[in-house]
Amino acid sequence: MKRLNPEKTAAFRFDRGPVGCLLTHGFTGSPFEMRELGEYLAGKGLTVLCKPLPGHGTTAEDMSRTNWYDWYRACVINLAELSSRCEKVFLCGMSMGGTLSLHLAAHYASQYKVAGVAAYAAALYLKNPLLPLLPILKRFIRFKPPSESDVADPVARANQESYGTVPLECVSSLLDLCAHVKNDLQDVTAPVLLIQSKKDNTVPPPNALLIHRLLGTSDKTLIEVERSYHVVTVDYDKELVKERTFEFIKRIEKLS
């Protein structure tokens, strides 16, 4: 099976100031899609950590041996590591990474000094006419062809690293995660920034409105963009994503 470029998909860490940012990539993604955001935040004096989730950044066969419990457990470990070095931590997640970040905030905000969450195109549900057949299909088909890259910018699209196939069992686990987190959003009391593209072809844009409505916090902001597709951290609106994320952190922590 296709193995991704380890130089692109490797973990990264920038040790800067006392405020930390845990960056989490999306389903079948890698730290590569969070790298520019991480470098930008580090340039603003923030400590940044981003690691590949289990089964990600290598091969689809590796991913097939993991599920959302593995991905979430890794996020908890990463959060604990960053929290041990920082006074406050912000959770910044792309797509499934945003869903995982919201889940972390619901359960570990006090223990690990979570000050806020920035979720980009986070999912609570997906739409596909074949999804109702998934419990049957995954018994006979282990892998499916990947969806077309959901990046509008052709240069960014060409730079993306992605698996040649996607494990159906992992798709099923992703749906379980989304359903689980939907019931936890009322327990998210930290401030939340949501950024969602109106042209997202992977996560239906109304997801952001649903998340916004279900959040337990009163400090919640939804920003909708129109130039990008799904992966807003690398697409046409990436500069806005960087700026709005730092403004969000700066407002909460009263940074200069």
Q: Is 219 a catalytic residue?
A: no
Residue 179 has a CB neighbour count (10 Å cut-off) of 11
Residue found by looking up tokens 């939907």 in the block: 182
Within 36-105, strands assigned E span 47-50, 88-94
Could you give the CA distance from residue 119 to residue 221 in angstroms, rounded to a whole number? Answer: 10
Comparing CA positions, the residue from 243, 115, 138, 126 lying closest to residue 189 is 115
Annotated catalytic residue within 150, 200, 235, 237: 200
Q: What are phi and psi of 36, to 5 degrees?
A: -60, -40
Question: What is the rounded CA–CA span in Å between residue 162 and residue 250?
Answer: 33
Which one-letter amino acid corresponds to residue 237? Answer: D
Residue whose tokens read 């806005």: 240
Q: Contact at 8 Å (CB) between 89 and 116? A: no
**Cα first-last separation, the chain:** 48
110 belongs to the catalytic site = no
- Give the helix/strand (H/E) hosting 115: strand 114-120
| Dihedral Cα 118, 211, 96, 173, nearest 10 deg | 150
- Considering the candidates 83, 230, 235, 237, report the single residue annotated as catalytic: 230
User: Which of the residues 83, 95, 173, 228 is marked catalytic?
Assistant: 95
CA distance 241 to 249: 12
Give yes or no: 200 in active site. yes
User: Which residues belong to the active site?
Assistant: 95, 200, 230
